[in-house]
Amino acid sequence: MESSKIRAIIPSICLVLSLIVLINVSYMGVKVATTPVSESPLYGQYDIEYMNTFISDSSPLPPPSPAQRRTQRLPQCLIIGARKGGTRALLDALALHPQIRVARREVHFFNNNETYAKGIEWYRLQMPYTYAEQVTIEKTP
């Protein structure tokens, strides 16, 4: 093909590809908006009061026995790393597992004297509610 013919076709191809991308993105938005909360990848990772009303049969965790209850526990695992070292990505990947609960915000307990002075009980109260068989993980700088 001549270069002039190719130059004439390129805008049409770009338009078609743009429309395809727009349709795909629109479809993804509809799918995300209609997905139930209990089927989202991070279901149960956030302790929001109203989330308790959405517990369904498709929950990734087995229903707890009446003797079990969720409590705030000290983390069984700490992710320690340098800035821009990928620790947030690691934490987000681990959070996808239903038996792992993560502290969503950094508490800065070990690297800040003011928060460390608040004591271990204050630190425990910053952790998410978990069942006994779940592992609590916190990321700290």
* 58-62, 110-114, 118-122: segment of lowest average pLDDT: 58-62
Dihedral Cα 85, 86, 87, 92, nearest 10 deg: 170
d(CA 88, CA 102) in angstroms, rounded, equals 11
Q: What's the pLDDT at 67?
A: 62
pLDDT tens for 14-45 read: 777 777 876 776 666 555 555 555 555 554 55
d(CA 127, CA 75) in angstroms, rounded, equals 7
Cβ–Cβ under 8 Å, residues 41 and 101: no
To the question of whether residue 81 is assigned a binding role by annotation, the answer is: no
Whether 122 shows a pLDDT value over 90: the answer reads: yes
pLDDT tens for 80-118 read: 888 888 888 888 898 999 899 998 888 889 888 998 999
To the question of whether residue 84 is assigned a binding role by annotation, the answer is: yes
To the question of whether residue 34 is assigned a binding role by annotation, the answer is: no
To the question of whether residue 86 is assigned a binding role by annotation, the answer is: yes
Spell out the long-range contacts of 34-38 with Cβ–Cβ below 8 A and sequence spacing 24 or more.
none
Whether 121 shows a pLDDT value over 90: the answer reads: yes
Q: What's the pLDDT at 50?
A: 38
To the question of whether residue 87 is assigned a binding role by annotation, the answer is: yes
Q: Take residue 131 and report the two structure tokens written for it.
A: 């069942």
Q: What's the pLDDT at 64?
A: 58
Residues with catalytic annotation? Answer: 84
